[in-house]
Copies of this chain bind each other. A is one copy, B any other.
Amino acid sequence: MNGADKLCQTLLANDVDVCFANPGTSEMHFVAALDRRQEMRCILGLFEGVVTGAADGYARMAEKPAATLLHLGPGLANGLANLHNAKRADTPMVNIVGDHATTHLALDAPLTTDIVGLATPMSHWVRSTPSAAQVGADAAEAIGVARSAPGKIATLILPADAAWSEVPEDHQDKIEVATFQPPEAPNAAAIKQAADVIRSGRQTLMLLGGTAMRAGALEIAGRISKHCGINLMASRSTPRTERGAGRVVLDRVPYVVDHAVKVLAPFEEIILVGSGQPVAFFLYPDKPGAIAAPGAQFTELGGVHHNLELALEMLADELGVPADVQPKLMPLGDNSLPDAGAITPPSFSAAVVHAMPENAIICDESITFSQAISNLTMQAPPHDLLQLTGGSIGIGIPLCIGAAIACPDRRVIALQADGSGMYTVQGLWTQARENLNITTIILANRRYQILHGELANVGGGTAGVNAARMLNLDDPDLDWVSLARGFGIPAVKVDCAQALAQEIKKAVQHDGPYLIEALI
């Protein structure tokens, strides 16, 4: 048994049995070890951003980490942007990054890089395991860190000689068990404090994030809101939201600073439940960075590492909220076939509501469109919504892969902006290779639309030649139908809301992936 086998054994023994991968030579002993353990499901991404984004989507739905397998510093670097998003989503993940044999580093071969340096900004835990003897214990520690609430990024660097060397005999059979911190029990003092705030009668907002966005927690928050007359809002982006018809209604903090300031202005008190204080996504001259009302008081009911459903339950008890209070629930929207006509935010949402099956998973990277459709698609049958948490575009296509691997019985629907989709477009091939039930709807406006708004915001007015060349995706237009087919995915182009609805209906009954380019 070599170090690579030991790593494989430790991952599988601790219930990490999916590995999103793009290996290279330095990982070849680990590839050989994986080849000996078919219980590990190995899924190839043709670029590492696909690999890490898929591992994120998987963990958000499976509620346990996948492993990634990345080739040295550059392979890790290619995966960093989606690691950033995963870190901001509190996603558990175990990255295995190969390195040169320890004795080879001093020779500075072409692929030598500072892997620890590269991993550190996007990881909670980084370690280069020194030897085959240590691989098992280090892997178990990595898994333990990753699984500790609220979920962390652990990056284990595996030098080639640690992989290929024999594990000492007394370490071979001993299974290393990962120990991890479950969500913390709620803080009783915080609950009393939050209850006092609510009883004060001051204008109060409860701002939700993290696991407070699951149906059970939201239902309790909804009862508190209804009974006590306080407001609820979700933080701008949350890793996983259980929403849709029959679930608690709540708005999000808007992206546009002026809007956000306006909706937050009334609140003297903000109770944080798995959310940070609301801040502007970007700072602009003469606009605030902290966007709550000046002087607003913050009370943290619980952080992302707490058991937030229990915290809300204890708060409801403290406030004496009766169990039979009915929170405000979202009604099922009109699901009739939309009329023929241009694809606009309302008609797009109508098409989604019409065609979406029960219990789907929406991966939302619709960017500019997102604000306008969010409250409309909420009227669809109950579903999970996975969002872009870290603002680094290129997550949608990979996120779908991971969600579909984690939930093979559910339909996955991507609301995918074209500019962002282009970042990890290679992920479409993995969708085809694994025959995943993913419907990708490309929102093709052929521009970084959000940046046109931002250019105007900063006083740049209408884009001139240079700005237009950097903000538009035209000349030539991308043909997503041709691209999808190139990756092995059937695809159609539509510019009519009714056709869109019909195509989504067809797609969600299709065995395997399907792509719809929606011209907006």
- Residues of chain A touching chain B, judged by Cβ–Cβ distance below 8 Å, are 21-26, 28-29, 31-32, 34-38, 40, 42-44, 46-47, 49, 69, 73-75, 77-78, 80-81, 84, 88, 100-101, 103-104, 107-111, 113-114, 117-118, 120-122, 160-161, 164, 236-237, 276-277, 279-283, 285, 289-290, 389-392, 394, 419, 422-423, 425-426, 429, 432-433, 450-451, 454-455, 457-460, 463-467, 469-471, 473, 475-488
Contacts and interface: CB of A to CB of B under 8 A. Distances in A.
Nearest to A472: B44
A22 B392 CA distance: 13
A478 B469 contact: no
A414 B422 CA distance: 22
Contacts of A476: 429, 432-433, 487-488
A107 B290 contact: yes
A283 B26 CA distance: 8
Contacts of A473: 46, 429
Contacts of A36: 464
Contacts of A429: 422, 473, 476, 478
B451 A25 contact: yes
A455 B32 CA distance: 7
Contact of A104 (B35, B160, B280): B280
A394 B79 CA distance: 14
A347 to B, nearest CB: 26
B394 A35 contact: no
B426 A425 contact: yes
Given A74-B390, A100-B283, A486 B475 contact: no
Contacts of A392: 74-75, 111
Contacts of A479: 485-488
Contacts of A122: 77, 113
A451 B23 contact: yes
A475 B488 CA distance: 9
A282 B23 CA distance: 14
A105 to B, nearest CB: 9
A73 B31 contact: no
Nearest to A450: B25
A160 B121 contact: no
A276 to B, nearest CB: 7
B422 A110 contact: no
Nearest to A88: B110
Contacts of A69: 470
Contacts of A110: 88, 236-237, 281, 389-391
Given A77-B77, A80-B77, A429-B478, A32 B483 contact: no
Closest 4 A-B residue pairs measured CB to CB? A476-B488, A32-B460, A483-B486, A482-B486
A458 B109 contact: no
A28 B104 contact: no
B121 A113 contact: yes
20 contacts: A23-B470, A25-B282, A26-B282, A28-B454, A28-B460, A32-B458, A34-B467, A35-B463, A42-B470, A78-B423, A101-B283, A103-B289, A107-B280, A108-B279, A110-B237, A117-B117, A425-B426, A433-B475, A476-B488, A478-B487
Nearest to A482: B486
A517 B25 CA distance: 26
A280 B109 contact: yes
Contacts of A113: 84, 121-122
A458 B29 contact: yes
B114 A121 contact: yes
Contacts of A42: 466, 469-470
Given A32-B460, A426-B422, A432-B476, A78 B107 contact: no
A489 to B, nearest CB: 9
Contacts of A164: 285, 458
A317 B480 CA distance: 61
B103 A283 contact: yes
B467 A31 contact: yes
A87 to B, nearest CB: 9
B107 A117 contact: no
B100 A282 contact: yes
Contacts of A277: 107
A289 to B, nearest CB: 5
A258 to B, nearest CB: 15
